[in-house]
Amino acid sequence: MAHERNDHQVVIYGSWISSFTARVKIALKLKGIDYEYVEEDITNKSQMMLNYNPIHKKVPILVHQGRPIVESQVILEYIDENWSHAPKLLPEDPYEKAKIRFWAKFFDEKIIPVIQAILRSKSGEERENLIQELSEVIQVFEEGMKRDYGEKPPLFNGDSLGFLGIVVSAYVCSYKPIHEAFATILLAEKNPAFFSWVNELLEHPLIKETQPPHDRLVARFKSLQT
Ligand SMILES: N[C@@H](CCC(=O)N[C@@H](CS)C(=O)NCC(=O)O)C(=O)O
């Protein structure tokens, strides 16, 4: 199902394992925009990928009518503005929009790096400390959500999956393969609100559809430990 305007020549360069790539797929699917997908080997980057993202040399890259856009949150905003029909990812009100951007930035700058450090950790003690740190930083997120939004955090924009929900789905929606391959990093007892939000996100059809296959992720996470 393609929307009528400007939706030709939409290409995602991504990687199957990349949660950041999944964000872009989810946003385009939500908007009903057809796209071509090019799988990149991030251990052996193509010249195309390096040309399109010479600064960070990372995926995802969205190429729209020949022009590259990089950094998943920047890409989500581009998608929401370029295909401005419903469902909108961000609220219209500038203040509400700024708050969502704040929390999305917090998620990428404070939560994801700790998960990545856990996945890279080698010793049990280092891992335990990082898992504790993760629970504390998630608690800051939970308290912030409650302070700003009460019981219902804005993972959805109205009835539809929104910018923050898409951002938060990265990494944490892979918690089951991480637990199986690696260690329990997300505990309902420690972060009950966040745990229930993640499980609610996992019920969303587009998040389910864009999750990498469980067994393939388990194998990849196990390989990181050797
Ligand atoms: N901040 C970037 C992060 C993208 C990112 O870390 N991409 C990874 C794949 S998940 C990558 O391309 N890594 C290749 C590398 O680091 O060399 C975003 O939001 O798009």
Among protein residues, the one with the nearest Cα to ligand 1's atom 2 is 71
Alpha-carbon distances of 215 from 48, 59, 207, 222, rounded to whole Å = 30, 22, 17, 10
Architecture of domain 94-224: Up-down Bundle (1.20)
Among protein residues, the one with the nearest Cα to ligand 1's atom 14 is 58
The predicted pLDDT at position 24 comes to: 98
- How far is it, in rounded angstroms, from Cα 195 to Cα 111? 14
Cα dihedral 141, 146, 147, 150 sign: positive
Q: Residue 117 has which token pair?
A: 């450090």
Ligand 1 surroundings by CB, under 6 angstroms: 15, 18, 20, 42, 57-60, 71-73
Cα-to-centroid distance, 151 and ligand 1 (Å): 32
Which residue among 15, 40, 59, 75 is best mutated to probe the pocket of ligand 1, counting the most ligand atoms within 8 A of its Cβ?
Answer: 59
Among protein residues, the one with the nearest Cα to ligand 1's atom 12 is 58
Superfamily of 10-82 according to CATH: Glutaredoxin (3.40.30.10)
Judge whether residue 6 has pLDDT over 80. Answer: no
The predicted pLDDT at position 8 comes to: 65
pLDDT above 90 covers a percentage of the chain that reads: 90
Domain ranges of the chain: 10-82, 94-224
| DSSP assignment letter at 78 | H
Q: In this structure, what are the phi and psi dihedrals at residue 191, rounded to the nearest 5 degrees? A: -130, 70
Judge whether residue 3 has pLDDT over 80. Answer: no
Confidence of residue 113 (pLDDT cuts 50, 70, 90): very high
Number of residues that make up the chain: 226
Q: Which of 70, 63, 72, 69 minimizes the C-alpha distance to 112? A: 72
122-164 pLDDT, tens digit each? 889 999 999 999 999 999 999 999 999 998 899 998 889 999 9
Alpha-carbon distances of 105 from 4, 79, 124, 127, 168, rounded to whole Å = 32, 18, 29, 24, 10
Task: State the average pLDDT over residues 17-34.
Answer: 97
